[in-house]
Amino acid sequence: MLTGEIAKPWVGERDVYARVAYFLTYLVAFLGIAGSVLRCYFAWKDVPRVGNLCLIMEDNFDTFDTAYTWTHEVDMSGFGNGEFEMATGSSNNSFVEDGKLYIVPTLTSDVIGSAAVFDGYTYNITGCTNANVSACGAVSNKTAGTVIPPVMSARITTKNSHSIQYGKIEIVARVPEGDWLWPALWMLPVDDAYGAWPASGEIDIMESRGNSPEYKAQGLDVVRGSLNWGPFTWLNGVAKTYGWWSQRRSTYHSGFHTYALEWTDRFLRIYVDSRLHHMLDVSFDEPFFARGDFPPFVANGSTTIATPNPWANASNAAPFDRPFYLIMNVAVGGTNGWFPDGVGDKPWIDASDTAMLDFAKAQAQWYATWPADPKERALVVDSVKMWQKC
C-alpha cells in the first residue's frame, strides 16, 4: 500500500512553449489549407470562359439524319494525305444502331475480290461528291504498280447544315482499334477567306492512331488536338500548336470519352473529359504570322519572294476567326507522316511511288490486328453538340 502525497502534474504550472508549439502547428496547417483554397480559386477564376452559348445542334443518333444534318463526302482522292481508303456513302461504312453512329473501315476485297484490287479492274465510286473526276475512280494495274484503294470507310460533315464562329463543341465517342486506323473529329472553314489550306486554318479536336499502346509514335492510349495554319502547305505552323493527353492504365478504345472545343476571339481550348485534361490551350495574344516565326523569304519556283502574310489585315485570331464546320471520319494509313516511317513495322514508305500497293500487299499483317466485330473497329459516336457564342 502506497503512502504519502500523490503527484498531480496537471495542476502545476503549464509549459508555455508546449502551448505555443501546439497552436503554431494548427495555425500553419490552417494557413496552408487557406492558401491552397485561394490558389485553386484564383486559378479557376483566371481560366478564360466562352461566355453565353446558344445550342444550335444536338444529335443523339436516334436516327441517321443524312437529309439535313450530315452529308457524306464520297471520294477516292486520298484527301491530300495520300490515305489508303476510299470514303463511301454505303451503309457498310456508316450507320446508326442503338443510338450510336458507327463509322467502320471495311476491306475493298470483300466487295470486288482480292485479285481485282491488284490488277485489271476499274472501280468508279457510287455517288462521288468530288468535282474532280479523277477522284471518283481508280484502275488497278500490276505493271504500273497501281491498285484500287484496299479499304472502304466513311467521312461525314455538317458543311451544308451547321457551322460555328466561336462557341463550343462536345463529342462523346470511342476510337477504333486496329493498326494504321486514323480516326478524326475535326473542323474546316466554310470558305477559304485567307487562301487554300492551311492558310484558312484547320481545327483538329481529336485525332488518334489505332495501333496498340506499344506503338512508339503514340497508339490507342493517346489522343491529340492541334491547329493547322500557314501561308503554304509546306510552311505549316502546326508544330507550334498541338498537344495530347494519354491514358495511364487503359486506352481510349476501352470506353467513351468527351472530346471538347471551346473557342472565342481571345482563345481556343481543346480537351478530353475535363478542362484539366487539355490537349491544347492557345491564347490569341499575338498574330499567327508572328507566332509562326516563318522565314522572311521563300522560294517560289525559280525566284525568291517575301513570305506572304495571309492574315495581314485581320484580327489576332485569324485564320480562326471565321465559321468552321465539323467533320468525322476514319482514315487508313497515308503518306503525310502521321504514321512515321520505320515505326511499328510500318509496311510502306511515305515517299515511295508504290506506298498504297505495299500497304495492300501487307493486308494479312494489318488486318489481323483489326477486331472481327465491325463495331469494335469503328469510330463510335454517342452524341454531338454544337453551341454558337450568343
Strand partners, 389: 53
In degrees rounded to 5, what are phi and psi of residue 278? -80, 130
Question: CB of 347 within 8 A of CB of 358?
Answer: yes
The yes-or-no answer on residue 202 being catalytic is yes
HSE of 383, CA atoms in CB hemisphere, 13 A: 12
Mode of pairing for the β-strands spanning 324-332 and 53-59: unpaired
Among 73, 83, 177, 202, the one annotated catalytic:
202
Catalytic residue among 73, 85, 177, 207: 207
Whether the CB-CB separation of 125 and 134 falls below 8 Å is answered with no
Give the amino acid at 104: V
Burial zone of 364 (CB within 10 Å; 0-12 exposed, 13-18 middle, 19+ buried): exposed
> What are the cell numbers at 228?
493547322
Q: Which residue has the cell 495554319?
A: 229
Annotated catalytic residue 97: no
In angstroms, the CA 357 to CA 118 distance is: 8
Could you list the active site residues?
A: 202, 207
